[in-house]
Structure 1
């Protein structure tokens, strides 16, 4: 599931007309009047976030149909997911900075146009490789629209009640888009998978036209610069690492091409670290990782996104290809996850205030682990919906709702105001890139089982075992420090 960037993911240069209004005789913002134009700006930003969630879930439902028509293997299909995830995660931090340097309005509208074009091309191609390329391009576009949309929101709405209200509306749309995309994806795939790519095109064009008319112009920042080398080495290294893991079952882990790809991926990632320590304006200031809390938050988001995305990928293929469920039936089976996240997210702030992030993250990892284990324990060769699928979806939905908000809060806890955006953007990047790596490993395991003569539920069983292991690692990672503090307190 693709999620929005939190409110501190970008450096803000406050130049919009709305945010310039001040109360007479004070430096505080005056109470903001929600004009029709202001509502229009918020609608455009929410529409783009909604469209992003819609696109991700619709394409996920369509994967088996895509594979059948284009002759794509499970290994190739995972690139339709990972191409988007890596494009988004690799350039997310650069996207926010680019918006500051070139202008938020310009970057947002350009990226939205690229998203629409890539969607159109994806719906028309007949080649699997070209389809994967369009997904990567859409991920790149989202890496610029997501942080820029949030930056436009926070500079258009006054700090305080107006901004909090706008952020609350904005936050609900990602999960709502995901939920709607499941149903719409099931319906559209029944007519043909290409409609899941083509449907976002007119929606994106409408949002683009409205954005041109409504989003206020802004002045680019004159401070700082781009870390292009850092962005290229990070994205290239992660792409090559995922490609190597996925292709290794076919070539062999000791094949010269596999070993060479691993070495080159390692060299690129090492180059990224060296670059970040030398450039004046690094993509990531590595010193921020010295704190144990932020490291734990970044590893936790990998466990959350990695296990969740991989399980959803396998469920999509298993229910349709092995059990021959229709796309709509499968979409309805997964729908409880999206509904829980959409309706539960607005209440997470209160729970964090009351119980703290460690307890909620532990609850999240425990719920996810139980969901995966329950499915394997009760599914058999033909899982019963009421006994197996529905309880699993409830556990996973609760786990994601608890975990995402708490991890984001933990990642920025205790961080200086000047680096709140970096910390928040870093944890989102870790989630996307980590999810891609976990999915690559799971796909390699499943593909290896298929090559060795496995298949059906046994193949799926092995993948879910690995996914549950990832969630359990996340659980232990957060449980140990909490137990240590408890023992020290009562010693």
Structure 2
């Protein structure tokens, strides 16, 4: 990392790290994170009603989810670099306004094609919005206990937003219409733009700010191929379409790494991911994304299909996980400076896996929520809190401000790709288990529960892998969490 010239008194006063209202700014950024996270699950609740209303096929229904993930996952690194070079405030505002417009188009959709186009636009603008928001947070809280508290809030929302989306989606679908599961983003975005405009200070990278066109093309094509390939894996792993796109994605990303190592202005500087601790954090983010999305998906199915819960009740049943995260987050933020990041990031996956294994062991067709589900959901929330509170902090620790946007995008990209991989893997194991159970003479609901149990086991196994990674790779000390960064560049 290079050193920067000392800031003048005027520059120092205007730097985001010296923002007198930065806790209000954190509220705006957290609202943004909540909108992006809950949008993934709120639409899932609305899909059955939207399918009937628009006359969608099952394949089109799947594309409503896939096309968002495709645009979001493939464009994240480009969005991060746009934030660094064009300006994080500008990129944040454009992403927020664009996301609101796309949500309005989707909410007013009168055809399948209109809804799919809106979802693609949502993903593209989310790829601008998410890294810009996290980069603003990173440079506004560059070090110390305030940074730990800020990232604890951000992490708690990242972990609990999915469950909030299930509840809000259930309420809106049942008492309004599926259209409002998209239209609800408009007032949220309006509040964020109006409140954020006077609060957010512009910052951007200086020095070499040329865009890496070859790298951009390679990584967008590579990530899109991977996301699409894993989405197709739900229909079969050995299909030519699945294997072809997965292989193409791997080849393109390998070529991308080769190009990035040789260019003077890389889209993703390899120093960002090659650092041992940050690389470990990115792997953990991928595994958490895989387990969380896969696990919550089948937990929702269990509530609605087997226990016959309404959409609202399914959302309420998921809330204890969110409440647990919200309770644990401030406690962890206080003890993190004393214990460091390694301990909670090692213990957290074990507790989360125990919760998923509990669900796999005890869920039944006529099960009791209080005894067979609630303890597992609470353990899952405790484990996720141990991960989410330090994860973003560790993943962005020591990153040069020049690379704040693209480093933030790399974290989001890891979680997004992890979610795609996890959903495809867990769905494949679930389907195989249901088929085996039916062949053995099980009743339909019993076969589904057998499938859900297998899904929870694999989700638990995935997140458990994060424990040894954290133990051996996460080397951020207590001092590292509190020390100031070495580099400050202002735009």
TM-score interval (norm. to shorter): 0.7 to 0.9
Q: CA deviation at 1:77?
A: 5.5
Q: Distance in 2 between matches of 1:248 and 1:441?
A: 8
Q: Distance in 1 between matches of 2:399 and 2:191?
A: 39
Does the 8 Å CA contact 2:71/2:120 hold for their aligned counterparts?
yes
What SS does the aligned partner of 2:265 have?
coil
Residue 355 in 1 paired to residue 339 in 2?
yes
Match of 1:464 in 2: 456
Match of 2:270 in 1: 286
Residue 199 in 1 paired to residue 184 in 2?
yes
Q: Distance in 2 between matches of 1:201 and 1:340?
A: 29
Match of 1:6 in 2: none
Q: 1:107 aligns with which of 91, 97, 100?
A: 91
Does the 8 Å CA contact 1:93/1:425 hold for their aligned counterparts?
yes
**Greater mean deviation of Cα atoms: 305-314 or 155-164:** 155-164
Q: Distance in 1 between matches of 2:19 and 2:419?
A: 40
Residue 376 in 1 paired to residue 360 in 2?
yes
The runs of 5 or more residues in structure 1 that have no matched partner are 1-11, 23-27, 483-491
Match of 2:465 in 1: 473
Compared CA separation, residues 70 and 317, structure 1 to 2 (3 A): farther
Residue 227 in 1 paired to residue 212 in 2?
yes
Q: Distance in 1 between matches of 2:193 and 2:16?
A: 29
Does the 8 Å CA contact 1:78/1:443 hold for their aligned counterparts?
no
The runs of 5 or more residues in structure 2 that have no matched partner are 439-446, 475-491
Superposition RMSD in Å:
4.1
Post-superposition Cα deviations, 1:16-68, rounded to whole Å, max 9, x if no partner, equal x996538xxxxx9998655xxx7876654443334334434433443454456
What SS does the aligned partner of 2:210 have?
coil
Residue 245 in 1 paired to residue 230 in 2?
yes
The equivalences for 1:136-155 within 5 A come to 136-152=120-136
What SS does the aligned partner of 2:261 have?
helix
Q: CA deviation at 1:75?
A: 7.3
Residue 339 in 1 paired to residue 323 in 2?
yes
Q: Distance in 2 between matches of 1:236 and 1:123?
A: 29
What SS does the aligned partner of 2:266 have?
coil
Q: TM-score, normalised by structure 2?
A: 0.78
The equivalences for 1:16-55 within 5 A come to 20-21=12-13, 34=21, 44-55=28-39
Q: 1:300 aligns with which of 284, 298, 301?
A: 284
Q: CA deviation at 1:399?
A: 0.8
**Greater mean deviation of Cα atoms: 181-190 or 451-460:** 451-460
The equivalences for 1:7-18 within 5 A come to none
The equivalences for 1:442-453 within 5 A come to 442-447=426-431
Q: Distance in 2 between matches of 1:475 and 1:44?
A: 32
Compared CA separation, residues 267 and 174, structure 1 to 2 (3 A): closer
Q: Distance in 1 between matches of 2:451 and 2:120?
A: 28
Does the 8 Å CA contact 2:152/2:389 hold for their aligned counterparts?
no
Q: Distance in 2 between matches of 1:481 and 1:152?
A: 27
What SS does the aligned partner of 1:224 have?
coil
Q: TM-score, normalised by structure 1?
A: 0.78
Q: Distance in 2 between matches of 1:468 and 1:403?
A: 14
Equivalenced residues, count = 462
